[in-house]
Chain A
Amino acid sequence: MIRLDGVTKRYPGQEGAAVERIDMDIREGEIVIFVGPSGCGKTTLMRMINRLIEPTSGRIFIQGEDVTRGNPDQLRRRIGYVIQQIGLFPHMTIGENIATVPRMLGWDKARISNRIDELLELVGLDARIFRSRYPKQLSGGQRQRVVVARALAVDPPVMLMDEPFGAIDPITRDRLQNEFLRLQQEIGKTIVFVTHDIDEAIKMGDRIAILREGATIAQYDTPEHILSAPADDFVADFVGAGASLKRLNLSRVRDVELTDWPTVVVSADRAEVLSVLRRSDKGSVLILDGQNRPVRWATARDIDRDDIPLEEAGLEPEAVVEPQSTLQDVLNLMLNSSHGAALVVDGEGAYLGAVDFATVANAVQAMRREANKELKAAADELGEAERATPA
């Protein structure tokens, strides 16, 4: 889909190259992460793909076409571009922002208007409310969604994203990352994604390119392989300690078996709730509304107080995750929750099940065993190689 062929960038008056002879194939529909320490040239490499920086030598092919020739503006209109600082046009409404590239490509008004509604819907914003708002009236998370919608405006096959979640608070970031992964399952774009955060790389990437100084590729592989078989000390160092914990970023809630938690509907009477609680081995019960959405999380003592109606008994549900959340997210939330479990809900907020500590611990152990097996296999291979080449 995207092929880099000996791509090099040198700046006059600088000794080493900023990017040194990179060859790389990026497959269609994959998210490829460029990750590395600051100054490794990952952003420079990405910006050469849409020629915001012109390569000194080498060629770049997108869908077989050499894009290092020809008009760079035409090229950029075919590539979605998202940067960390968001860069929405503050003097234009959300609708006008999204319409920017369609207008340049001469779409008619009705088509542009339909597309704006469609895209806002896609990123989970109500078009009726948001299309005529200005960026300053939106929260950081909403702006981030709009900028993704804007980049998708003409349905480009390729997207470049430079630390797209970098300027957002950690909790919102987790949610937006999950939303983006769900979106990507629908849209299947080829995405080049730059970050300095290895955890984000492991979570978001189908493949990760770890870059070192001078933008040479230290390892280009799937997250699983990078964690279990780092190519050299630099990669091992960069991935850092706790590789087995990092693997929690690779497993998603949908991959593990959910635990059942006792539930009642909000219209149930107290005797019924107490009997449900007695029959369960859990100390608390989840109260669901008519649409099966969790509304409260209550213990027997909360239920016993008849001065409080059922819909206000106990606490608001905390630690709510979706099937595409990673176990890392779950663990973080669970550690802060009073019931020692996370609730899993679907896209509409309806209750699916729960994840408790035991489930996460099992997952960690399973990964451990897997990693040890791989290490063992690698050691055996080395041993055989030693035996095969007598001194």
Chain B
Amino acid sequence: MKSRFTCTVNNEAADLLADGYKTLLEVLREDLQLTGTKHGCELGECGACAVLVDGQPVLSCLLLAAECDGRHIITVEGLTNDGRLHPLQECFADLGAAQCGYCTPGILITAKALLDAEPNPSRERICEALSGNLCRCTGYLQIVEAVEAAARVGTPAVTPEPRR
């Protein structure tokens, strides 16, 4: 049984028709081809599928898509602004915070929610906020440092993407 609903995904209206059992994760990846959002367990254990729903980090594998009617969703594809990377993205890329890159979208989203709420979090707060996002590559330290660096940079608008 498909249900029809509308929501905003990365600041664009999305008119969706999806099976009632489909999770937000599945609809984002399979119906909208927004494959930047990843999955590591589909049971709410790893944090890889985190997206922002009305500004709050949510595990998209645990949310039915139909529950998102009228809501505002941001995925990793929505972090860039006018073609510029978000400071979190710049800092993650520069500071080695992404190795295989599979947990990265979920961590970026979780970190963005933290910085939106607390522009200058302590290291302890960062570790706490990211404790539901598993990463098997980095040992977390370069991730935490990248979040700290992004907090120091501040607003996205002033950060041009450097040529590498």
A binds B: no
